[in-house]
Chains A and B, each alone.
Chain A
Amino acid sequence: MIWKSILTTVLLITTYTLFINYYGQSIDRTAQTTGQRNLVKAEDYLYEASDHCDTILIGSSMSERLRAERLAPHCYNLSFSGLSALDGLYLIERSGHVPKVLFVEINSIAREVPVSLDMATITDSSGRRLKQWFPFLRQKYQPVGVLKALLRDWQSGPDGTAEAIAAARPDTALQQKMVQQLYNVMRLPLSPTATANSFRKAKAYLSRLQRRGTTVILFEMPINSRLENLLAPQTTRQYADAYFPAPAYQHIALPADSFRTSDGIHLLYDESLRYSNYLHTQYQQLAHATTRNMISNRRAGYETTN
């Protein structure tokens, strides 16, 4: 009985591996939950995106909604729901990849979440080797998730989910309750020790990346206007200015106009598109300014020499 069972398992694994090899690339959005979406994203970054994406965006669920393709070419959104920018930094460092440009959401840096068991596991070197040889071990190719993706695509088309998200309207009663709940939390002071510790960690990660040539651009995600000037967000901005001063670190300031959210901190779908465009414009300006500085520095150096 045992051998028959093991043989069945081997046959199933072989068949499934062949299926993934032939059809895997066309199967997308297989994550079943938010947590799994994070893991799929992390694995996609480790096994695919890090080879060809030189611009990375890191943050929490707030910046997860930003459209990377609008931000910059070859940009990968490595923001994780329920986690923070520190998790993205942890992953980048463990991957060995050095992005050319790194967008860092400052809102979540103070929220230090212990590195999850799964995030630590997927960056483990022996696990990574196994998953490179056996893709069926990756979260993306879990049979139930693949089945869900195939059924969804068959039913509504690959863009069906995006249309549904765009059409969704927020529950205003719940929204007010959540804004109030966030208000009660955000008007309280952050723990100085924990906050300083988180920013120190982030600075350590970013300094190492900068030394290897990464341009770091910090930005803030807009939140409900009732919340944005409370003690916690203000303190976060102060820490960001203190730990990541210009010109070593580039900053994109919040725009003057306000943005609508679904629950106080997460942008509505069309607002996330609008903010992605804003960041893109600001990034272009920063890039031009940097180029102008480089040219004028080179000219100054040339004139000095001559």
Chain B
Amino acid sequence: MLFTSPEFVLLVVCTFVLYYLPALRRYQVPILIAASLYFYASGQANLLWLLLLSVSINIASSYLVIYGNPARHHLYAVLGVVGNLLILVFFKYGPLLSQTFAASGGDVGSWLAALPLPIGISFFTFQGISLVVDTYKYRHVDQYRSLIARNLVKHAQTVLFFKGFFPQLVSGPIVKANFFLPQIGPKPIQVVDWTYCFRTLVLGYFLKMVVADNLKDHTLLMTYPYFEAYSSFTLLTLLFGYSMQIFADFAGYSLIALGLAALFGYQFPINFNFPYIATSFADFWRRWHISLSSFLREYLYIPLGGNRHGTVRTYINLLTTMVLGGLWHGAAWSYAVWGLAHGSALALERFAGDMLGKSAFSGFRLLRGVLVFGYVTLAWLLFRLPDFNHVLAYLRAIVNNYGKPHETLAISFIVLYSLPVILYHGYHLVQQRSAQPTTTDHRYSTRIAVVYGILLFLIITNSGSGGTFIYFQF
């Protein structure tokens, strides 16, 4: 069930009505759980058991960490994390590992390759790991302990809700347990910030349905071998368009998730903070898919040692974290290469900062911004063309095809549909530098209302062809 489908809208409306009925106030969390399970089952009913298995592992391990034998708390936590990872490795990376290491055409490899990839597995697995690790870390903190109910049924309900809540179930943001669990409780309808929900949902659906879905239809030209016929400029424009598309698709989805959660009184962390104005790679990763980068930092980079064990070890930790972060995106070596590309950029940037001093790069903001954007955009090629030979062919075509005629129409559409993303980032830059208009500024609020009215009009009249969110495949 897509967020953009009429069935989903109906599900949200029905859930909303039931959720805020005074007579059903006590059952708010079970209502959301039921809606979430229905949402997941509508896409992959045969894999609902996997979600429930994953939830069960988390219920058991987090409960035992708090209420089990104190001498075994560490063991329970390790088992919880390993259990989560085993599910992820088996379903997601089994085919890749068997292709890489097993004899070709083997029965096991074929069987693994035929396994369906559960939607959202990367996301709900990471959330489960976050729950187990946070429970272990804060097991002696009274405020956190109180979030793990003594009553196992109540605890099971909490975990099922935390992992299965439908706005973030299949594509994030990855919500940490210590952020979400304290929010669980009765929600009166007065908590709903309607303006926030409206703006977030309209902007999210606009980025997804108007920008990303239309760009998707045009960047289809980036298909081998057809792209070899296009000029260098066309190819660069297509790549630029894809960069805009992946942002609009993912940021749009995240905004929809935030808006939906807010409708039910829950807050999610923002997942994108205008990443394409970043002037360094470190800054980029503080702005792009923030929930993933903060998860990797907290649960992988820091436990590996972070920057606490010398320079060389810091670079190794950085590269390891980014390669694994790349692989998280997909079970193909091209994603590992993508992670390595970003890890290398981060390491090089750190090295340059250590050698030359951070002040050496304080100027040239625009140039740095362009370089970071250019590098990030080039790296997206590995997402668009998972076959590495096709990536090389694309790069060769960019270099060699300067004499070919341009695809003027495709270029025009890509520029047009990329404009909202450019304006979105540009507006934020301008806002940062100028005085903030007060909320009582009538003309400002009218202008904003008109803008959202136009966005809503375009959602209704100018949406691209329906399609899943790019990050659904992760």
Residues of chain A touching chain B, judged by Cβ–Cβ distance below 8 Å, are 1-2, 4-9, 11-13, 16, 32-36, 39, 117-118, 121, 136-137, 141-144, 148, 171, 174, 177-178, 181
Q: Are B465 and A36 in contact (CB under 8 A)?
A: yes
Among residues of B, the one whose C-beta sits closest to the C-beta of A116 is B465
Q: Are B214 and A32 in contact (CB under 8 A)?
A: yes
B454 interface residue (CB < 8 Å to A)? yes
Among residues of A, the one whose C-beta sits closest to the C-beta of B462 is A142
Among residues of B, the one whose C-beta sits closest to the C-beta of A32 is B413
Bound: A13/B202 CA distance, A: 16
B180 interface residue (CB < 8 Å to A)? no
Mask of B444-462 contacts with A, CB within 8 angstroms, 1/0: 0110111011101110111
- Whether A12 contacts B445 in the complex (CB less than 8 A), given A32-B413, A33-B217, A177-B228, comes out as no
B362 interface residue (CB < 8 Å to A)? no
Q: Are B461 and A16 in contact (CB under 8 A)?
A: yes
Give the chain A neighbours of B457 by CB distance below 8 A: 8-9, 12-13, 16
Bound: A177/B226 CA distance, A: 10
B357 interface residue (CB < 8 Å to A)? no
Please name 9 further chain A to chain B contacts, defined as beta carbons within 8 Å, in addition to the given A12-B454, A148-B413, sorted by A numbering. A1-B449, A8-B454, A13-B460, A33-B218, A34-B220, A36-B465, A137-B460, A142-B461, A143-B461
Q: How many residues of B contact A (CB 8 A)?
A: 34
- Whether A9 contacts B456 in the complex (CB less than 8 A), given A32-B217, A177-B228, A178-B225, comes out as yes
Give the chain A neighbours of B411 by CB distance below 8 A: none
A138 shortest CB reach to chain B, Å? 9
Give the chain B neighbours of A35 by CB distance below 8 A: 217, 220, 465
B452 in complex: contacting residue of A5, A32, A39, A144, CB < 8 Å: A5
B319 shortest CB reach to chain A, Å? 38
Give the chain B neighbours of A121 by CB distance below 8 A: 466
A36 in complex: contacting residue of B217, B229, B452, B453, CB < 8 Å: B217
A275 shortest CB reach to chain B, Å? 24
B453 in complex: contacting residue of A9, A118, A136, A143, CB < 8 Å: A9
Among residues of A, the one whose C-beta sits closest to the C-beta of B197 is A2
The 5 A-B pairs at the shortest CB distance, nearest first, are namely A8-B453, A4-B449, A5-B452, A33-B217, A12-B457
Bound: A171/B413 CA distance, A: 24
Q: Are B465 and A144 in contact (CB under 8 A)?
A: no
Give the chain B neighbours of A6 by CB distance below 8 A: 453, 456
- Whether A117 contacts B466 in the complex (CB less than 8 A), given A8-B449, A33-B220, A177-B228, comes out as yes
Give the chain A neighbours of B458 by CB distance below 8 A: 143
Bound: A181/B194 CA distance, A: 55
Bound: A137/B416 CA distance, A: 21
Bound: A144/B466 CA distance, A: 17
Give the chain B neighbours of A13 by CB distance below 8 A: 457, 460-461
Give the chain A neighbours of B218 by CB distance below 8 A: 32-33
Give the chain B neighbours of A136 by CB distance below 8 A: 460-461
Q: Are B466 and A5 in contact (CB under 8 A)?
A: no
B472 interface residue (CB < 8 Å to A)? no
Give the chain A neighbours of B91 by CB distance below 8 A: none
Among residues of B, the one whose C-beta sits closest to the C-beta of A33 is B217
Mask of B461-472 contacts with A, CB within 8 angstroms, 1/0: 110011100000
Bound: A303/B194 CA distance, A: 84
B198 interface residue (CB < 8 Å to A)? yes
- Whether A141 contacts B220 in the complex (CB less than 8 A), given A171-B229, A174-B225, comes out as no
Give the chain A neighbours of B214 by CB distance below 8 A: 32, 144
B195 interface residue (CB < 8 Å to A)? yes
Interface centre among B214, B217, B229 (most CB of A within 10 A): B229
Q: Are B465 and A8 in contact (CB under 8 A)?
A: no
Bound: A13/B457 CA distance, A: 7
Give the chain B neighbours of A9 by CB distance below 8 A: 453-454, 456-457, 460
Mask of B201-237 contacts with A, CB within 8 angstroms, 1/0: 0100000000000100110100001001100000000
A276 shortest CB reach to chain B, Å? 25
A177 in complex: contacting residue of B195, B225, B452, B465, CB < 8 Å: B225
Among residues of B, the one whose C-beta sits closest to the C-beta of A171 is B229
Give the chain B neighbours of A1 by CB distance below 8 A: 195, 198-199, 445, 448-449, 452
Within 8 A of A (CB), among B374-421: 409, 412-413, 416-417
Give the chain B neighbours of A5 by CB distance below 8 A: 198, 202, 449-450, 452-453, 456
Bound: A205/B340 CA distance, A: 52
Give the chain A neighbours of B217 by CB distance below 8 A: 32-33, 35-36
Give the chain A neighbours of B199 by CB distance below 8 A: 1
Give the chain B neighbours of A177 by CB distance below 8 A: 225, 228
Give the chain B neighbours of A32 by CB distance below 8 A: 214, 217-218, 413
Bound: A33/B218 CA distance, A: 7
Give the chain A neighbours of B194 by CB distance below 8 A: 2
Bound: A220/B217 CA distance, A: 29
Give the chain A neighbours of B465 by CB distance below 8 A: 35-36, 39, 117-118
